Amino acid sequence: MVTRSSGYALAVVTGLLMALSFPKVGHPAFAWIALTPLLVALDSQPVGRAFVLGLVSGVVFFVGTLYWITGVMVVYGGLNVVSAVLANAALIAFLALFPATFALVMSQLRRASDQRALLIAPFVWVATELGRTHVFGGFPWVLLGYSQVSVLPVVQFASIVGVYGVSALVASVGAALAVAAVGRGHNLRDRTLPLAVTLVIVIGLAVWGNDRLSRNELTRAGTPIRVGLVQGNVDQAEKWDTRRAAEIFQSYLRLSEQVIGQGVDIVLWPESSTPFLFEEDRPEADEVRALARRANVPILLGSDQVDRHGEPKYYNSAFLVDRSGQDAGVYRKMHLVPFGEYVPFKRLLFFAAPLVEAVSDFSPGDRPTLLPLGSHLISTAICYEIVYPGLIRRFAADGSELLTTITNDAWFGRTAAPFQHFAQAAMRAVENGRYLVRSANTGISGVVDPYGRVLAETALFERVALVGEARLLRESTVYTQTGDVFAYVSAAATLVLLVLTHGHAVARVE
Protein backbone atom coordinates (compact mmCIF):
# COMPACT_ATOMS: atom_id res chain seq x y z
CA MET A 1 0.00 0.00 0.00
CA VAL A 2 1.22 3.50 -0.83
CA THR A 3 1.94 5.54 2.29
CA ARG A 4 0.76 9.10 2.71
CA SER A 5 4.23 10.61 2.24
CA SER A 6 5.09 8.45 -0.76
CA GLY A 7 1.67 9.26 -2.25
CA TYR A 8 2.41 12.98 -2.19
CA ALA A 9 5.85 12.35 -3.67
CA LEU A 10 4.30 10.38 -6.53
CA ALA A 11 1.76 13.17 -7.10
CA VAL A 12 4.59 15.69 -7.37
CA VAL A 13 6.38 13.44 -9.86
CA THR A 14 3.28 13.35 -12.07
CA GLY A 15 3.09 17.14 -12.03
CA LEU A 16 6.76 17.44 -12.93
CA LEU A 17 6.53 14.90 -15.74
CA MET A 18 3.53 16.65 -17.27
CA ALA A 19 5.27 20.03 -17.08
CA LEU A 20 8.40 18.54 -18.67
CA SER A 21 6.32 17.23 -21.60
CA PHE A 22 5.97 20.71 -23.12
CA PRO A 23 8.35 23.18 -24.76
CA LYS A 24 10.66 24.87 -24.46
CA VAL A 25 12.80 22.65 -22.23
CA GLY A 26 10.61 19.56 -22.11
CA HIS A 27 10.35 16.42 -24.20
CA PRO A 28 7.15 14.71 -25.43
CA ALA A 29 8.34 11.30 -24.15
CA PHE A 30 7.64 12.32 -20.55
CA ALA A 31 3.92 12.64 -21.27
CA TRP A 32 3.49 8.91 -21.90
CA ILE A 33 4.43 7.98 -18.34
CA ALA A 34 3.26 11.18 -16.61
CA LEU A 35 -0.02 9.86 -15.16
CA THR A 36 1.44 6.59 -13.87
CA PRO A 37 2.83 7.90 -10.55
CA LEU A 38 -0.46 9.62 -9.64
CA LEU A 39 -2.54 6.57 -10.54
CA VAL A 40 -0.25 4.36 -8.44
CA ALA A 41 -0.51 6.86 -5.58
CA LEU A 42 -4.32 6.56 -5.66
CA ASP A 43 -4.20 2.85 -4.84
CA SER A 44 -6.25 2.21 -1.69
CA GLN A 45 -6.43 5.90 -0.83
CA PRO A 46 -9.59 7.50 0.62
CA VAL A 47 -11.48 9.65 -1.85
CA GLY A 48 -10.71 12.86 0.01
CA ARG A 49 -6.98 12.23 -0.02
CA ALA A 50 -7.16 11.25 -3.69
CA PHE A 51 -8.60 14.69 -4.45
CA VAL A 52 -5.70 16.34 -2.60
CA LEU A 53 -3.15 14.20 -4.46
CA GLY A 54 -4.65 15.25 -7.77
CA LEU A 55 -4.59 18.85 -6.60
CA VAL A 56 -0.89 18.57 -5.81
CA SER A 57 -0.17 17.16 -9.28
CA GLY A 58 -2.19 19.94 -10.87
CA VAL A 59 -0.48 22.71 -8.93
CA VAL A 60 3.00 21.41 -9.84
CA PHE A 61 1.96 20.97 -13.48
CA PHE A 62 0.51 24.43 -13.92
CA VAL A 63 3.23 26.19 -11.95
CA GLY A 64 5.71 24.56 -14.32
CA THR A 65 3.83 25.60 -17.46
CA LEU A 66 2.15 28.89 -16.49
CA TYR A 67 4.87 30.49 -14.35
CA TRP A 68 5.26 33.23 -16.96
CA ILE A 69 1.85 34.75 -16.14
CA THR A 70 3.32 36.26 -12.97
CA GLY A 71 5.89 38.20 -14.98
CA VAL A 72 3.23 39.46 -17.37
CA MET A 73 1.20 40.85 -14.47
CA VAL A 74 4.24 42.58 -12.96
CA VAL A 75 5.57 44.11 -16.17
CA TYR A 76 2.32 44.98 -17.92
CA GLY A 77 -0.38 44.72 -15.26
CA GLY A 78 1.10 47.18 -12.77
CA LEU A 79 1.13 44.66 -9.91
CA ASN A 80 3.87 44.23 -7.36
CA VAL A 81 5.47 40.80 -7.19
CA VAL A 82 3.41 39.62 -4.20
CA SER A 83 0.08 40.60 -5.76
CA ALA A 84 1.08 39.05 -9.11
CA VAL A 85 2.01 35.79 -7.42
CA LEU A 86 -1.33 35.75 -5.59
CA ALA A 87 -3.29 36.43 -8.79
CA ASN A 88 -1.45 33.71 -10.70
CA ALA A 89 -1.83 31.36 -7.74
CA ALA A 90 -5.60 31.86 -7.90
CA LEU A 91 -5.63 30.86 -11.57
CA ILE A 92 -3.36 27.86 -10.96
CA ALA A 93 -5.46 26.72 -8.02
CA PHE A 94 -8.58 26.86 -10.18
CA LEU A 95 -6.94 24.88 -13.01
CA ALA A 96 -5.57 22.33 -10.53
CA LEU A 97 -9.16 21.46 -9.60
CA PHE A 98 -9.44 19.52 -12.87
CA PRO A 99 -6.59 17.05 -12.20
CA ALA A 100 -7.97 16.86 -8.64
CA THR A 101 -11.38 15.91 -10.02
CA PHE A 102 -9.69 13.31 -12.23
CA ALA A 103 -8.02 11.78 -9.17
CA LEU A 104 -11.24 11.80 -7.17
CA VAL A 105 -13.20 10.07 -9.94
CA MET A 106 -10.48 7.50 -10.50
CA SER A 107 -10.35 6.74 -6.78
CA GLN A 108 -14.10 6.21 -6.73
CA LEU A 109 -14.01 3.90 -9.76
CA ARG A 110 -10.99 2.02 -8.44
CA ARG A 111 -12.68 1.31 -5.12
CA ALA A 112 -15.65 -0.21 -6.92
CA SER A 113 -13.52 -2.59 -8.97
CA ASP A 114 -10.02 -4.04 -9.22
CA GLN A 115 -6.93 -2.53 -10.81
CA ARG A 116 -8.47 -2.84 -14.27
CA ALA A 117 -10.59 0.20 -13.44
CA LEU A 118 -7.41 2.21 -14.05
CA LEU A 119 -7.89 1.56 -17.76
CA ILE A 120 -10.79 4.02 -17.65
CA ALA A 121 -8.29 6.79 -16.83
CA PRO A 122 -7.84 8.08 -20.42
CA PHE A 123 -11.55 8.79 -20.74
CA VAL A 124 -11.80 10.42 -17.33
CA TRP A 125 -8.76 12.56 -18.09
CA VAL A 126 -10.30 13.72 -21.37
CA ALA A 127 -13.55 14.54 -19.55
CA THR A 128 -11.65 16.86 -17.21
CA GLU A 129 -9.79 18.46 -20.12
CA LEU A 130 -13.13 19.11 -21.80
CA GLY A 131 -14.28 20.75 -18.58
CA ARG A 132 -11.16 22.89 -18.47
CA THR A 133 -11.95 24.06 -22.00
CA HIS A 134 -15.44 25.28 -21.17
CA VAL A 135 -15.94 26.02 -17.45
CA PHE A 136 -15.98 29.79 -16.76
CA GLY A 137 -14.93 30.53 -20.34
CA GLY A 138 -12.22 27.90 -20.29
CA PHE A 139 -8.43 27.88 -20.32
CA PRO A 140 -7.42 24.90 -22.49
CA TRP A 141 -3.68 25.66 -22.42
CA VAL A 142 -1.25 22.67 -22.39
CA LEU A 143 -3.79 19.88 -22.85
CA LEU A 144 -1.89 16.60 -22.63
CA GLY A 145 -2.29 15.87 -26.35
CA TYR A 146 -0.43 19.07 -27.27
CA SER A 147 2.75 17.48 -25.96
CA GLN A 148 2.88 15.28 -29.08
CA VAL A 149 2.67 17.98 -31.76
CA SER A 150 6.28 17.38 -32.79
CA VAL A 151 5.81 13.58 -32.87
CA LEU A 152 4.36 13.63 -36.36
CA PRO A 153 3.35 9.93 -36.82
CA VAL A 154 1.43 10.01 -33.53
CA VAL A 155 -0.19 13.41 -33.94
CA GLN A 156 -1.86 12.38 -37.22
CA PHE A 157 -4.43 10.71 -34.97
CA ALA A 158 -5.74 14.22 -34.29
CA SER A 159 -7.16 14.35 -37.83
CA ILE A 160 -9.71 11.78 -36.60
CA VAL A 161 -10.33 12.54 -32.93
CA GLY A 162 -8.70 15.93 -32.31
CA VAL A 163 -6.35 16.90 -29.52
CA TYR A 164 -8.54 15.17 -26.92
CA GLY A 165 -8.09 11.84 -28.68
CA VAL A 166 -4.33 12.31 -28.62
CA SER A 167 -4.58 13.11 -24.90
CA ALA A 168 -6.43 9.83 -24.37
CA LEU A 169 -3.86 7.89 -26.37
CA VAL A 170 -1.02 9.32 -24.30
CA ALA A 171 -2.89 8.75 -21.03
CA SER A 172 -3.63 5.14 -21.98
CA VAL A 173 0.04 4.18 -21.74
CA GLY A 174 0.35 5.73 -18.30
CA ALA A 175 -2.81 3.92 -17.19
CA ALA A 176 -1.60 0.55 -18.50
CA LEU A 177 1.72 1.01 -16.70
CA ALA A 178 -0.20 1.75 -13.51
CA VAL A 179 -2.19 -1.49 -13.90
CA ALA A 180 1.07 -3.42 -14.15
CA ALA A 181 2.45 -1.63 -11.09
CA VAL A 182 -0.50 -2.06 -8.71
CA GLY A 183 -1.73 -5.50 -9.79
CA ARG A 184 -0.61 -7.29 -6.65
CA GLY A 185 -1.94 -10.83 -6.31
CA HIS A 186 -2.55 -11.18 -10.04
CA ASN A 187 -0.48 -13.22 -12.42
CA LEU A 188 1.98 -11.57 -14.76
CA ARG A 189 -0.24 -12.01 -17.79
CA ASP A 190 -3.17 -10.14 -16.24
CA ARG A 191 -0.89 -7.33 -15.15
CA THR A 192 0.96 -6.87 -18.43
CA LEU A 193 -1.69 -7.72 -21.04
CA PRO A 194 -3.28 -4.23 -20.94
CA LEU A 195 0.14 -2.66 -21.48
CA ALA A 196 0.89 -4.99 -24.39
CA VAL A 197 -2.45 -4.25 -26.04
CA THR A 198 -2.02 -0.51 -25.49
CA LEU A 199 1.44 -0.51 -27.03
CA VAL A 200 0.17 -2.44 -30.04
CA ILE A 201 -2.55 0.20 -30.53
CA VAL A 202 -0.06 3.06 -30.19
CA ILE A 203 2.39 1.44 -32.60
CA GLY A 204 -0.40 0.66 -35.04
CA LEU A 205 -1.60 4.27 -35.02
CA ALA A 206 1.97 5.50 -35.45
CA VAL A 207 2.43 3.22 -38.48
CA TRP A 208 -0.83 4.55 -39.94
CA GLY A 209 0.29 8.10 -39.19
CA ASN A 210 3.63 7.53 -40.87
CA ASP A 211 1.82 6.19 -43.94
CA ARG A 212 -0.41 9.29 -43.96
CA LEU A 213 2.70 11.45 -43.86
CA SER A 214 4.36 9.55 -46.68
CA ARG A 215 1.29 9.80 -48.91
CA ASN A 216 1.35 13.57 -48.37
CA GLU A 217 -1.82 14.05 -50.42
CA LEU A 218 -2.89 17.41 -49.04
CA THR A 219 0.35 19.10 -50.09
CA ARG A 220 -0.60 18.46 -53.73
CA ALA A 221 -4.31 19.35 -53.49
CA GLY A 222 -6.08 22.67 -53.66
CA THR A 223 -4.73 26.00 -54.84
CA PRO A 224 -1.17 27.13 -54.06
CA ILE A 225 -0.74 30.48 -52.35
CA ARG A 226 2.22 32.57 -51.22
CA VAL A 227 1.83 34.29 -47.89
CA GLY A 228 3.78 37.27 -46.60
CA LEU A 229 4.16 37.36 -42.80
CA VAL A 230 5.18 40.63 -41.16
CA GLN A 231 6.82 40.45 -37.73
CA GLY A 232 7.20 44.02 -36.50
CA ASN A 233 8.92 43.20 -33.19
CA VAL A 234 7.36 46.15 -31.35
CA ASP A 235 8.07 46.28 -27.64
CA GLN A 236 4.84 46.10 -25.64
CA ALA A 237 5.83 49.15 -23.59
CA GLU A 238 6.21 51.21 -26.79
CA LYS A 239 3.20 49.92 -28.66
CA TRP A 240 0.89 52.82 -27.74
CA ASP A 241 3.59 55.46 -27.34
CA THR A 242 2.33 58.30 -29.54
CA ARG A 243 5.92 59.45 -30.10
CA ARG A 244 6.71 56.13 -31.79
CA ALA A 245 3.42 55.57 -33.60
CA ALA A 246 4.57 56.95 -36.96
CA GLU A 247 7.82 54.96 -36.84
CA ILE A 248 6.01 51.72 -35.97
CA PHE A 249 3.48 52.21 -38.73
CA GLN A 250 6.09 53.01 -41.36
CA SER A 251 8.04 49.93 -40.31
CA TYR A 252 5.02 47.74 -41.04
CA LEU A 253 4.60 49.36 -44.42
CA ARG A 254 8.28 48.77 -45.30
CA LEU A 255 8.15 45.13 -44.21
CA SER A 256 4.97 44.65 -46.23
CA GLU A 257 6.65 46.07 -49.32
CA GLN A 258 9.50 43.59 -48.81
CA VAL A 259 7.22 40.55 -48.95
CA ILE A 260 5.14 42.06 -51.74
CA GLY A 261 8.34 42.43 -53.73
CA GLN A 262 8.86 38.67 -53.47
CA GLY A 263 5.43 37.98 -54.96
CA VAL A 264 2.74 37.09 -52.42
CA ASP A 265 -1.02 36.60 -52.57
CA ILE A 266 -1.78 38.01 -49.11
CA VAL A 267 0.08 39.90 -46.38
CA LEU A 268 -0.52 39.28 -42.67
CA TRP A 269 0.18 41.78 -39.90
CA PRO A 270 0.04 40.67 -36.25
CA GLU A 271 -2.65 41.19 -33.65
CA SER A 272 -3.25 44.86 -32.70
CA SER A 273 -0.42 45.81 -35.03
CA THR A 274 -1.67 49.28 -35.89
CA PRO A 275 -0.79 52.01 -33.33
CA PHE A 276 -4.15 53.57 -34.19
CA LEU A 277 -7.79 52.54 -34.63
CA PHE A 278 -8.00 51.26 -38.19
CA GLU A 279 -11.63 52.27 -38.67
CA GLU A 280 -11.25 55.74 -37.20
CA ASP A 281 -7.79 57.08 -38.11
CA ARG A 282 -8.35 57.82 -41.76
CA PRO A 283 -4.91 59.00 -43.02
CA GLU A 284 -3.02 55.92 -41.78
CA ALA A 285 -5.79 53.51 -42.77
CA ASP A 286 -5.85 55.08 -46.23
CA GLU A 287 -2.12 54.37 -46.57
CA VAL A 288 -2.78 50.68 -45.91
CA ARG A 289 -5.56 50.65 -48.48
CA ALA A 290 -3.38 52.48 -50.98
CA LEU A 291 -0.60 49.90 -50.53
CA ALA A 292 -3.04 47.02 -51.08
CA ARG A 293 -4.46 48.73 -54.17
CA ARG A 294 -1.03 49.64 -55.59
CA ALA A 295 0.40 46.15 -55.02
CA ASN A 296 -2.84 44.36 -55.92
CA VAL A 297 -2.42 42.28 -52.73
CA PRO A 298 -4.90 41.86 -49.81
CA ILE A 299 -3.69 42.76 -46.31
CA LEU A 300 -4.99 41.15 -43.13
CA LEU A 301 -4.20 43.17 -40.02
CA GLY A 302 -5.09 43.36 -36.35
CA SER A 303 -6.49 46.50 -34.77
CA ASP A 304 -8.76 47.47 -31.91
CA GLN A 305 -12.31 48.35 -32.85
CA VAL A 306 -14.87 50.50 -31.02
CA ASP A 307 -18.62 50.10 -31.45
CA ARG A 308 -19.98 53.52 -30.48
CA HIS A 309 -23.66 52.66 -30.86
CA GLY A 310 -24.93 53.26 -27.34
CA GLU A 311 -22.39 52.56 -24.62
CA PRO A 312 -19.01 52.04 -26.34
CA LYS A 313 -17.83 48.44 -26.71
CA TYR A 314 -14.24 47.56 -27.48
CA TYR A 315 -13.24 44.62 -29.65
CA ASN A 316 -9.93 43.00 -30.53
CA SER A 317 -10.45 42.65 -34.27
CA ALA A 318 -8.91 41.55 -37.54
CA PHE A 319 -9.58 43.55 -40.71
CA LEU A 320 -9.14 42.33 -44.26
CA VAL A 321 -8.38 44.94 -46.92
CA ASP A 322 -8.85 43.44 -50.39
CA ARG A 323 -6.62 43.98 -53.41
CA SER A 324 -8.73 46.94 -54.52
CA GLY A 325 -8.14 48.67 -51.17
CA GLN A 326 -11.70 48.11 -49.95
CA ASP A 327 -12.67 46.72 -46.55
CA ALA A 328 -13.58 43.10 -47.28
CA GLY A 329 -14.48 41.89 -43.80
CA VAL A 330 -13.81 42.04 -40.09
CA TYR A 331 -13.56 39.34 -37.44
CA ARG A 332 -14.02 40.11 -33.75
CA LYS A 333 -12.12 37.95 -31.28
CA MET A 334 -14.51 35.59 -29.49
CA HIS A 335 -12.34 34.10 -26.72
CA LEU A 336 -10.72 36.80 -24.61
CA VAL A 337 -7.57 36.32 -22.55
CA PRO A 338 -8.20 36.28 -18.79
CA PHE A 339 -6.01 38.85 -17.01
CA GLY A 340 -5.05 40.26 -20.40
CA GLU A 341 -8.29 41.46 -22.01
CA TYR A 342 -10.59 41.11 -19.04
CA VAL A 343 -10.22 40.23 -15.35
CA PRO A 344 -12.39 37.33 -14.14
CA PHE A 345 -13.78 37.45 -10.60
CA LYS A 346 -12.86 41.12 -10.14
CA ARG A 347 -14.48 41.35 -6.72
CA LEU A 348 -12.55 38.36 -5.39
CA LEU A 349 -9.23 39.65 -6.70
CA PHE A 350 -9.32 42.79 -4.53
CA PHE A 351 -5.55 42.63 -4.09
CA ALA A 352 -5.09 43.00 -7.84
CA ALA A 353 -6.71 46.42 -8.17
CA PRO A 354 -3.88 47.83 -10.37
CA LEU A 355 -4.36 44.90 -12.74
CA VAL A 356 -8.10 45.53 -12.97
CA GLU A 357 -7.37 49.14 -13.88
CA ALA A 358 -4.58 48.27 -16.34
CA VAL A 359 -6.38 45.54 -18.27
CA SER A 360 -8.56 46.71 -21.15
CA ASP A 361 -12.18 45.65 -20.80
CA PHE A 362 -12.86 44.10 -24.20
CA SER A 363 -16.12 42.54 -25.33
CA PRO A 364 -16.14 39.16 -27.09
CA GLY A 365 -17.27 38.77 -30.68
CA ASP A 366 -20.39 36.69 -31.28
CA ARG A 367 -19.76 34.88 -34.56
CA PRO A 368 -16.93 32.98 -36.32
CA THR A 369 -16.80 35.26 -39.36
CA LEU A 370 -15.01 34.01 -42.46
CA LEU A 371 -13.11 36.42 -44.69
CA PRO A 372 -13.16 36.40 -48.53
CA LEU A 373 -9.93 35.95 -50.44
CA GLY A 374 -11.01 36.26 -54.05
CA SER A 375 -13.33 33.32 -54.66
CA HIS A 376 -12.03 31.53 -51.57
CA LEU A 377 -12.76 31.82 -47.85
CA ILE A 378 -10.18 32.03 -45.07
CA SER A 379 -10.39 32.46 -41.32
CA THR A 380 -8.32 34.07 -38.63
CA ALA A 381 -7.97 33.35 -34.93
CA ILE A 382 -6.63 36.12 -32.75
CA CYS A 383 -3.95 35.23 -30.21
CA TYR A 384 -4.90 32.72 -27.54
CA GLU A 385 -8.19 31.61 -29.09
CA ILE A 386 -6.17 29.37 -31.42
CA VAL A 387 -6.01 26.92 -28.47
CA TYR A 388 -9.79 26.35 -28.67
CA PRO A 389 -10.19 23.32 -30.97
CA GLY A 390 -13.95 23.73 -31.38
CA LEU A 391 -13.68 27.29 -32.69
CA ILE A 392 -11.07 26.48 -35.34
CA ARG A 393 -12.92 23.34 -36.34
CA ARG A 394 -16.04 25.49 -36.85
CA PHE A 395 -14.07 27.79 -39.16
CA ALA A 396 -13.03 24.81 -41.28
CA ALA A 397 -16.49 23.24 -41.24
CA ASP A 398 -18.00 26.52 -42.39
CA GLY A 399 -15.69 26.60 -45.40
CA SER A 400 -12.35 28.14 -44.40
CA GLU A 401 -9.68 26.94 -46.83
CA LEU A 402 -6.75 28.45 -44.93
CA LEU A 403 -6.29 28.88 -41.20
CA THR A 404 -4.55 32.09 -40.21
CA THR A 405 -3.75 33.34 -36.74
CA ILE A 406 -2.42 36.71 -35.69
CA THR A 407 -0.99 37.28 -32.25
CA ASN A 408 1.07 39.51 -30.01
CA ASP A 409 3.27 37.35 -27.79
CA ALA A 410 5.44 40.26 -26.67
CA TRP A 411 3.85 39.87 -23.23
CA PHE A 412 5.55 36.51 -22.77
CA GLY A 413 9.17 37.58 -23.19
CA ARG A 414 11.59 34.69 -23.69
CA THR A 415 9.67 32.28 -21.50
CA ALA A 416 8.22 28.94 -22.59
CA ALA A 417 4.90 30.59 -23.49
CA PRO A 418 5.66 31.56 -27.15
CA PHE A 419 6.86 28.01 -27.86
CA GLN A 420 3.81 26.48 -26.17
CA HIS A 421 1.54 28.84 -28.10
CA PHE A 422 3.07 28.01 -31.49
CA ALA A 423 2.92 24.26 -30.84
CA GLN A 424 -0.75 24.44 -29.89
CA ALA A 425 -1.52 26.40 -33.04
CA ALA A 426 0.14 23.66 -35.10
CA MET A 427 -2.31 21.10 -33.71
CA ARG A 428 -5.18 22.96 -35.41
CA ALA A 429 -3.55 22.36 -38.81
CA VAL A 430 -3.46 18.59 -38.28
CA GLU A 431 -6.96 18.38 -36.85
CA ASN A 432 -8.55 20.14 -39.80
CA GLY A 433 -6.23 19.22 -42.69
CA ARG A 434 -5.43 22.86 -43.39
CA TYR A 435 -2.32 24.95 -43.79
CA LEU A 436 -1.89 27.32 -40.89
CA VAL A 437 -0.04 30.63 -41.23
CA ARG A 438 0.84 32.73 -38.20
CA SER A 439 1.96 36.32 -37.87
CA ALA A 440 3.24 37.24 -34.40
CA ASN A 441 4.49 40.65 -33.31
CA THR A 442 7.65 39.31 -31.65
CA GLY A 443 7.51 35.74 -32.99
CA ILE A 444 7.09 32.94 -33.50
CA SER A 445 5.68 33.59 -37.00
CA GLY A 446 5.53 30.71 -39.43
CA VAL A 447 3.78 28.28 -41.74
CA VAL A 448 2.58 24.80 -40.74
CA ASP A 449 1.36 22.24 -43.28
CA PRO A 450 -1.77 20.04 -42.80
CA TYR A 451 0.37 17.29 -41.25
CA GLY A 452 1.93 19.48 -38.57
CA ARG A 453 5.27 19.99 -40.32
CA VAL A 454 6.70 23.46 -39.71
CA LEU A 455 7.66 24.73 -43.17
CA ALA A 456 8.96 28.13 -42.08
CA GLU A 457 9.35 29.94 -38.78
CA THR A 458 11.02 33.01 -37.34
CA ALA A 459 13.09 33.50 -34.23
CA LEU A 460 11.85 35.49 -31.26
CA PHE A 461 12.37 39.23 -31.02
CA GLU A 462 13.58 39.98 -34.51
CA ARG A 463 12.07 42.36 -37.04
CA VAL A 464 11.56 40.26 -40.14
CA ALA A 465 9.42 39.76 -43.22
CA LEU A 466 8.86 36.10 -44.08
CA VAL A 467 7.38 34.58 -47.24
CA GLY A 468 5.91 31.09 -47.02
CA GLU A 469 4.16 28.62 -49.30
CA ALA A 470 0.70 27.29 -48.45
CA ARG A 471 -2.36 25.92 -50.21
CA LEU A 472 -6.08 26.65 -50.09
CA LEU A 473 -7.79 23.34 -49.30
CA ARG A 474 -11.39 22.16 -49.19
CA GLU A 475 -11.09 18.51 -48.18
CA SER A 476 -12.47 17.76 -44.71
CA THR A 477 -10.86 15.54 -42.11
CA VAL A 478 -12.89 13.18 -39.96
CA TYR A 479 -12.35 15.56 -37.05
CA THR A 480 -13.69 18.55 -39.01
CA GLN A 481 -16.81 16.57 -39.83
CA THR A 482 -17.46 15.13 -36.36
CA GLY A 483 -15.82 17.59 -33.97
CA ASP A 484 -15.14 16.69 -30.36
CA VAL A 485 -17.50 13.72 -30.26
CA PHE A 486 -14.81 11.60 -28.64
CA ALA A 487 -14.41 14.09 -25.79
CA TYR A 488 -18.14 14.35 -25.14
CA VAL A 489 -18.55 10.56 -25.24
CA SER A 490 -15.70 10.30 -22.73
CA ALA A 491 -17.45 12.77 -20.43
CA ALA A 492 -20.76 10.93 -20.75
CA ALA A 493 -19.11 7.56 -20.11
CA THR A 494 -17.42 8.96 -17.01
CA LEU A 495 -20.73 10.16 -15.61
CA VAL A 496 -22.45 6.84 -16.36
CA LEU A 497 -19.68 4.86 -14.67
CA LEU A 498 -19.83 7.09 -11.62
CA VAL A 499 -23.57 6.48 -11.31
CA LEU A 500 -23.19 2.72 -11.79
CA THR A 501 -20.40 2.40 -9.24
CA HIS A 502 -21.80 4.77 -6.65
CA GLY A 503 -23.58 2.06 -4.74
CA HIS A 504 -20.58 -0.27 -4.76
CA ALA A 505 -17.80 2.10 -3.79
CA VAL A 506 -17.04 2.81 -0.15
CA ALA A 507 -16.09 6.45 0.10
CA ARG A 508 -13.88 7.28 3.04
CA VAL A 509 -12.90 10.92 3.42
CA GLU A 510 -10.12 11.75 5.81
Mean per-residue pLDDT pooled into runs of 10, the chain (510 residues): 86 98 94 97 88 98 95 78 89 97 94 82 98 93 98 98 98 96 74 94 98 98 98 82 86 97 98 89 90 98 91 94 96 84 59 49 91 98 96 98 96 93 98 98 97 98 97 98 98 93 52
Q: Is 333 a catalytic residue?
A: yes
How much is the pLDDT for 344?
A: 62
pLDDT at residue number 508: 39
- Residue at 434: amino acid letter: R
pLDDT score at 336: 85
Exactly one of 129, 284, 341, 383 is catalytic; name it.
383
pTM score, whole prediction: 0.93
Rounded distance between C-alpha atoms, residue 419 and residue 422, angstroms:
5
Distances (CA, A) of 460 to 4, 219, 274, 299, 444: 44, 27, 20, 23, 6
> What pLDDT is attached to residue 281?
73
Give the pLDDT score at 184: 62
Q: Measure Cα distances from 431 to 62, 103, 126, 152, 246 in Å.
A: 25, 28, 17, 12, 40
- What structural domains does the chain harbor? 4-216+484-501 (no CATH), 222-474 (3.60.110.10)
Q: What is the DSSP letter of 136?
A: G
**Could you say which of 129, 271, 401, 431 is catalytic?**
271
Q: What's the pLDDT score for residue 303? A: 94
> What per-residue confidence (pLDDT) applies to 358?
47
Which residues face 230 on adjacent strands? Answer: 465
How many CB atoms are closer than 10 A to CB 418? 24
Instruction: Give the model's pLDDT for residue 174.
Output: 97
Identify the active-site residue in 333, 341, 385, 401: 333
